[in-house]
Amino acid sequence: MWQWWKLMGLGEHWYSEDKFILRENIYEFNQDTKWLAMMKDVKVWWMPVDYTRDLDLYNEESKLSYFTEDLGWNAYWYYLNMDYSFFLDGTTFDLKNDRRGEWWLYNVHQLLSRYYMERLSHGFGDIPEFSWYHQIEMGYDPQMIYYNGIGFSYRKNYYEMETYGNFEMLDKITGFMKRMQDIIELGYYKTTDGHTIDLRKPESIEFIGNLMQGNIDAMDKMFYQFWYMLAHMYFGDVDYHQMEVYPNVMLNFETMMRDPMYYMFYKSIASIYFKFMHYLPKYTKEQLLMPGVTMKHVEVSDLTTYFDLVDFDVTNMLNDKMIFHDGKFVWDKSLYARQMRLNHKPFTYTYTIESDKVEKVVVRAFLGPKFDEFGKMISLTENRMNFMEVDEFYYDLKAGSNVITRKSNDFYWTVKDRTTYTELYYYVMMAFDGKYDFPLDISEPHCGFPDRLVLPMGWKKGMPMQMFFMVMPYKAPSHEQFSTFDYTYSCGIGSGARFVDSMPFGYPFDRQIDEYEFFVPNMYFKDVTIFHTDTMEPYYKYKGYTNYGHFDYTFFRDYYTKYFKL
């Protein structure tokens, strides 16, 4: 990734400039007179952020650091595990209403699918298999410091996992995985109190998910309930009764996705999900077919990714002491970390669906690869595990032709950049002075997937991908979606109204596929191409940037004006 901060000879220095905070919706803010007035007297400082400057443990996975170390990517996993924490009882906190076990396990699968597509964009292949008894080829140095000043531990390349840690703990972890494989193959599990669970029923995925997360809803408390916690303790070299622990990325939900080993280990967790699904009967043509409904065509607009510069508010690190002037608290300084991150231009797709009657339906859209790293087409039977669901919505079909347009901004499960603490503080202060009508509820949903990461990084010449669309009958959930909460500012955890219908997550790619039975008129496959625009190219071409070695206040203004005014 181009090191933009070197263009102006910044080196390791912080710098300040006029009030021009970069974010994906900067044009909305620059045209907001209240926002401009709010930031008028704030002293703003910037710190260039680049994780690729000093790498002691370089390997090919370092090329993906812009993705694996993305704050939004890591925040999504963190909030998922806070909302459905393994220690929260599903009955007391209503988490069972959301199919917590199935939802957690399905998210593991979807995140791995998204990561695999990002690997393909760089010519990498499958996520490496994880083994406790073989070397971990890819090391990792997070280059992070904990709040108490202690640096995070690192792992060298070709690390031998089995030579470190508590071997009793390792035996429990590997024993659990072996037992999970065994009970799925057996087809049932009998708990210590004599209760039998049929593992050939689709709804038993909830039991499997609870066990894999090691949460408190696992029916058999004797079945190594805390294996998941023990696994992460082993990764972090933490013993049972250890009082002082060195920070390790695998010990924190908000940091573990930065480590390439995370994806290897969680691939083994996802393998349990796929093994369970392997024993369920394949969907038949009669189950997949929606009589009288045909998806005639889907038109997809251009798909383009780019890297933009964005500012993260880290002012809390700077304002460690409260400052008062004339008895009034003053928040007059802001520190921002300026970083490159992946983004995409807004896109749309338009459905043309014909129906012979009025009907309530759900439309789903998936994105997946078409070729592997060698350019070989991947069969649908194998490729179904690589598709990521990007959209689903309810619709009332009318008799005849239906034209439906969906925008990427319509995805209810994604979120934009959040209001920073500095902005929130000054909005409150302006409201106290009567200069701003502060909304009674300024809440923003914390649980959404970052909108800008929906698409994997494309290629300049275009990266071939494919999209899958399906229209299916509406099967109402126990509570109608969003009927008990407003998704624009709430996540509805435990409401039972988070999902559009009651179908299994990932349907119809959740089970094995019989390609002779699978294709029906209410499905549509579309070949698409994802392009990538190198927005920094004009600046590092020979004589392309005339102010090299000097601080240029207009650099970022021009940068955004030319490329990101969409």
Residues 134 and 220 in one domain: yes
233/6: higher pLDDT: 233
Q: Does residue 103 fall inside a structural domain?
A: yes
At residue 121, what is the residue type? S
Q: Does residue 437 fall inside a structural domain?
A: no
pLDDT at position 15, please? 41
Q: Does residue 174 fall inside a structural domain?
A: yes
Mean pLDDT of 86-91: 92
Residues 355 and 397 in one domain: yes
Alpha-carbon torsion angle 336, 342, 346, 350, nearest 10:
-150
Question: 279 in helix, strand or coil?
Answer: coil
Residues 171 and 151 in one domain: yes
Beta strands in 24-122 (DSSP E): 43-48
Distance, in Å, from the CA atom of 54 to the CA atom of 522, rounded to the nearest integer, reads 52
Residues 291 and 197 in one domain: no
CATH code of the domain in which 240 resides: 1.10.1280.10
Distance, in Å, from the CA atom of 309 to the CA atom of 64, rounded to the nearest integer, reads 17
Residues 249 and 298 in one domain: no
Residues 218 and 169 in one domain: yes
Q: Does residue 541 fall inside a structural domain?
A: no
Residues 169 and 259 in one domain: yes
Residues 227 and 88 in one domain: yes
Total count of residues recorded for the chain: 566
For the stretch 326-339, what's the b/e string if a residue is b when 16 or more beta carbons lie within 10 angstroms of its beta carbon? eeeeeeeebbbebb
CATH code of the domain in which 380 resides: 2.60.40.1520
pLDDT at position 120, please? 97
428 pLDDT higher than 70: yes
pTM for the model stands at 0.89
Residues 507 and 363 in one domain: yes
Best CA proximity match to 528, nearest among 464, 456, 457, 455:
464
Q: Please provide the average confidence, as pLDDT, over all residues in the chain.
A: 85
Distance, in Å, from the CA atom of 549 to the CA atom of 559, rounded to the nearest integer, reads 17
Q: Give percent of the chain above pLDDT 90.
A: 57
Q: What are phi and psi of 76, to 5 degrees?
A: -60, -45
Q: Does residue 473 fall inside a structural domain?
A: yes
At residue 242, what is the residue type? Q
Q: Does residue 290 fall inside a structural domain?
A: yes
CA angle 410, 412, 416 (to 5 degrees): 80
Residue 566's pLDDT band, with cuts at 50, 70 and 90, is: very low
Print the SS3 string covering 236-267: CCCCCCCCCCCCCHHHCCCCHHHCHHHHHHHH
Q: Does residue 320 fall inside a structural domain?
A: no
145 pLDDT higher than 50: yes
Best CA proximity match to 255, nearest among 341, 344, 154, 336:
154
Mean pLDDT of 186-205: 92
Residues 73 and 133 in one domain: yes
Mean pLDDT of 112-118: 98
Domains: count for the chain: 2
Residues 236 and 288 in one domain: no
310 by Cβ neighbours in 10 Å (0-12 / 13-18 / 19+) ranks as buried
β-sheet bridge partners, residue 16: 45
Provide the domain limits for residue 179: 69-280
Q: Which residue has the tokens 């760089």?
A: 122
Residues 235 and 294 in one domain: no
| DSSP H helices in 249-363 | 260-278, 285-288, 315-318
Q: Does residue 443 fall inside a structural domain?
A: no
